[in-house]
Amino acid sequence: MKNINMQQILYFRITMKCSSFAQAAELAYTTQSTISKNIASLEKIVGEPLFIRQKKGIIPTPKAIFLNLELSEVYDRLDSLFNSSYQYKQDGITVSFCQNIDFPSAIPDFFSLLARDDFFSRANVKLHCYENETVVNGVLNGSYDLGFILSDTNVSNPNIKLHTIASAAPQIFFSINSPLNQKENLTIHDFSNYPLVTTRYLIEKNDYRMINQLPFTPKGIEIVESYDDIPIYLATGHYITLLRPCVYLSNHKNIVSYNLSDTYPMTQGVTMIWFQNNKNKYLKKILTIMGAK
């Protein structure tokens, strides 16, 4: 048991409350594969299966039930540690952003707040940029007081509070070198002749929902591991991509965006998150000014 890490404990605790790995991933704001890999690693440590995998979900084994009870004291210590760190960390505030957010267009009000009345220096604000999952986990484990993440919907999580900062339909992006950029009166159907490039995270996170709800069928789908790979594909002029309206591509000088209709069935944007028991006085002030409940 000494080899079990905190991440495995947190994911196991959440999974024990869920009927599937997919539900646990949504609750933890991570991917299903991440949950599955952590549970599999934990099963190797304990030496036997913790969940019975079925087509319709998962069922905890007797070993999982026993382990959950055995870890109850650890859960209590973690909760106490997290609560204590929030209660007494009053000399400053730590904020973390998803690194793909286009700050100027997405959350200008927040940065205006930091500049107002010398708030930045008085509050000793520390800023960090990471992936979505790292931001959420950092808020959960007490590393960050406040997080800004890219969001498809306001995912429910029992340990965090959420407040939508920006919300809009995603956009289609393509290269200025693409024949699409030379076409007058561009319509949504013109994109159907081009393959769509997207990230594996987006595919796993949304289970193809976003692509299936496009008002056209792309010629094909190319899956890449990282957002950083997308501009490389777009530069050829042969690919398009569908991304949130608040990602860094918005201000890329060699990439053109096409706005989807207001009737598009999915909205995305930026969500502000914080631990529900955080007592930081500067966080409370930010939440009040930003109109968060």
Q: How many helices (H) and strands (E) does the chain have?
A: 13, 12
Residue 11 parent element (H or E) = helix 6-15
Helices 32-46 and 6-15 cross at an angle (nearest 10°) of: 110
Which residue blocks in 16-60 are alpha helix, DSSP H? 21-28, 32-46
Residue 87 confidence (pLDDT): 47
Residue spans of beta strands (DSSP E) within the chain: 51-54, 57-60, 93-98, 125-130, 146-151, 160-168, 171-175, 196-199, 221-224, 240-243, 255-259, 268-275
Q: Specify burial of residue 113 (Cβ count, 10 A radius: 0-12, 13-18, 19+).
A: middle
pLDDT tens digits for the chain (293 residues)?
A: 556 777 788 889 889 988 999 888 877 777 888 899 889 989 998 999 999 998 889 999 999 999 988 888 887 776 665 555 544 455 688 888 887 787 766 777 776 766 665 665 667 778 888 888 788 888 887 888 999 988 765 556 777 888 888 888 888 999 999 999 988 889 899 999 999 998 876 776 666 667 777 888 899 999 988 778 889 999 999 999 988 778 777 778 899 999 888 778 777 788 899 988 888 888 888 888 788 86
Sequential DSSP letters for 88-132? H--S-EEEEEETTB-HHHH-HHHHHHHHGGGHHHHTTEEEEEE-H
What is the structure's pLDDT at 236?
A: 93
pTM above 0.85, yes or no: no
Interatomic CA distance for residues 214 and 195, integer angstroms: 13
Strands 146-151 and 93-98 come out as parallel
What is the predicted pLDDT for the residue at 228? 80
- Structural contact between residues 39 and 50, judged by C-beta atoms closer than 8 angstroms: yes
Q: In angstroms, rounded to a whole number, what is the distance separating the alpha carbons of residues 242 and 245?
A: 9
Asked if 68 and 18 touch (Cβ cutoff 8 Å), the reply is no
Residue 194: the pLDDT is: 95
Cβ atoms of 193 and 183 within 8 Å: the answer is: no
Per the DSSP assignment, residues forming a β-bridge with 224 are 199
